[in-house]
Structure 1
């Protein structure tokens, strides 16, 4: 049911992105500076996403305010999210927005005790879908037999991770299902730091969200120092995992799983993986106004993002940075938020048991 809901949101993207009637707001931000805070370092996919939107948002908002991206990394993004929870619209008056990620949603979904934020208090004005790609050094990639990952099962992998309860649980669980031995080095501040570990030879496997892969890893692939293993895939309108439209020549995790005897696309592990994939990728990045935001401010920012998405040159501009994914506002963004902040109880229980068994992480 959750997968279908997100697919329905994707299907309604064209309607949700359509420009609203002019004159729906009167907010004026002339001479103001809008702080666009993201709870990660400046090296990852969220930074690239935010920096793509910031100048366009400056052009689209009434009064053309300066939009500045600020970074607040720490605790896998919960530090920044807890800080944003304490901010109010009354204090910031429309000059503060916050960009979350799946790595912010997953601790919330898993009842992480460090979470002191409540998504229900925030006001979503944009939701961005995305994907992700796992990649390998060329000599290790040669051990795969087509899409069959059995040849990787005897290799000891090292991977730089933000934490097992973050968005990184999607690749960690996928690699486990494939029978791979991946030892995470926890504590990096952003996925860009994981890419740097790979480049320095400190890690021999990595994954990046699509925006960071397109900008940071594609040059490595073109230079011969990295080979894509698989994407996580995307959802079709019926909620099925299909190939990611941004990487149509790359197999999805589902295809690799089906080709690898140790892996199965049925049962508890698959259901849990798919539930968290849906929560973390089709509903991956969102922009919020703080609690107490006025209807006028919400309408102003929603209209600004609609105007950006409706630009004739948006598809061309966003292709390299965002990939081929829906950018949603209004009711579609609200539905995406709902889907991104809930998973079935069975999937949550499975993941909690796995985290305790595999990494000694207790969230109860």
Structure 2
């Protein structure tokens, strides 16, 4: 699809070139958070990748913001993250003591005109955008059947814990459908961490986690022989092509597995839709926002704080086991990432809306 290819190339170029260079100038007036508490709200439970991501940045942000405020992570799960996002839309805090950290599971309902959505991304002021990856994995007895294609997995009944049909979990759901696998989601889990716990208890026999949670909670299971990686969603190169995830270069991508699986195509409307939502949901999946009421000085102070964090000489080492090797964008880079994450081509949107209705009975009208 021409539009989607343009999006892919634009986003890949943006990720490669503006992560740190494009950044707003220093604060125009002095902002001091001394003695204050900043609430870093995420619309998920405290056991998933968003919690891991927020808790990584919280103490670093406390050190970097002027006045060294206490930064506390709060959780507002519900509605596949739409409950917390609707709440944030109503907030009028203007002093920088409230920031919000949604993810692709918040972006997708917005993109698909989900009736639960009462929030508007155009109202929110972005100060950080984080790229992220994702890895699907199997229990060892099923992992032994996987040899780079999904052909030997097609006759198996899979169960997994999913947040909702219109959230970020639509990326794996569509991938498994394209592979011809029989994967039945159990909708309603509050965060990917809850889905992982279902896998650990034997209530699910397939799962995926975003990179922060996979690195922390799934890699130990893999090392202990209790899980086998199946595929990553991949990453984008400078030309907008799907390549191996830099955090998991030994794991094949969904594109590779699809190409090796009978009946799965990496061209056509299904592939174009999958890739468009992958770009929206993963290449700039997690962002930090201030309310629309926050002053320009507060926004600039946060942008400088995040720029300083990313520029720390020990940042790569600190973030390696938590965030993986993904871009962290501020200023204009974050603004461009926000646009890419909240827009998809009309054809991809139409395909996904029809698929959700046909497969899950989810009507978004």
Could you say if the C-alpha distance between residues 33 and 332 of structure 1 is closer, same or farther in structure 2, counting changes exceeding 3 Å?
same
Provide the C-alpha distance between the structure 1 equivalents of 2:339 and 2:247, rounded to a whole number of angstroms. 25
Give the TM-score, by structure 2 length: 0.97
For residues 52-82 of structure 1, the C-alpha deviation after alignment (integer angstroms, 9 at most, x for no partner) is 0000000000000000000000000000000
CA RMSD of aligned residues (A): 1.1
Moved over 4 A (4+): 20-25
Instruction: State the match for 2:49 in structure 1.
Output: 45
* Separation (CA, whole Å) in 2 of partners of 1:188 and 1:337: 26
Deviation at 1:210, TM superposition (A): 0.5
Alignment check: 8 A CA contact 1:126 1:333 kept = yes
Hey, what does 2:264 align to over in structure 1? Answer: 263
CA gap of 1:27–1:46, structure 2 versus 1, over 3 A, is same
Question: Aligned residue for 1:150?
Answer: 151
Give the equivalent residue in structure 1 for 2:215: 214
Q: Secondary structure at the match of 1:312?
A: coil
Matched residue, 1:97: 99
Instruction: Identify the residue that residue 191 of structure 1 maps to in structure 2.
Output: 192
Corresponding residue for 1:234?
A: 235
Q: Deviations over 1:303-349 (max 9, x none)?
A: 00000000000000000000000000000000000000010000000
Which position in structure 2 is the counterpart of 1:58?
62
Structure 1 residue ranges without an equivalent (≥5): none
**What corresponds to 1:130 in structure 2?**
132
Contact 2:11–2:340 (8 Å) recurs in 1: yes
In structure 2, the residue matched to 1:86 is 90
Matched with 1:346 is 347
Report the counterpart of residue 173 of structure 1 in structure 2: 174
Give the conservation status (yes or no) of the 8 Å contact 2:135–2:229: yes
Aligned equivalents of 1:222, 1:152: Cα separation in 2: 23
* Residue 334 (structure 1) aligns with: 335
Shift of residue 12 of structure 1? 1.6
Give the equivalent residue in structure 1 for 2:115: 113
User: Aligned residue for 1:297?
Assistant: 298
The CA distance in 1 between the partners of 2:122 and 2:237, in whole Å, is 28
Which structure 2 segments of 5+ residues have no match? Answer: 1-5
Contact 1:230 1:253 in 2 (8 A): yes
Q: Structure 1 23/350 Cα, relative in aligned 2: closer, same or farther at 3 Å?
A: closer
The Cα offsets for residues 8-30 of structure 1, whole Å up to 9 and x where unpaired, read as 22112454377x76665410000
Q: 2: CA distance between counterparts of 1:261 and 1:231?
A: 19
CA contact (8 A) 2:26 2:300 kept: no
* Contact 1:161/1:186, CA 8 A, preserved across alignment: yes
1:188 and 1:104 map into 2 onto residues whose CA distance is 15
Q: Does residue 253 in structure 1 map to residue 257 in structure 2? A: no
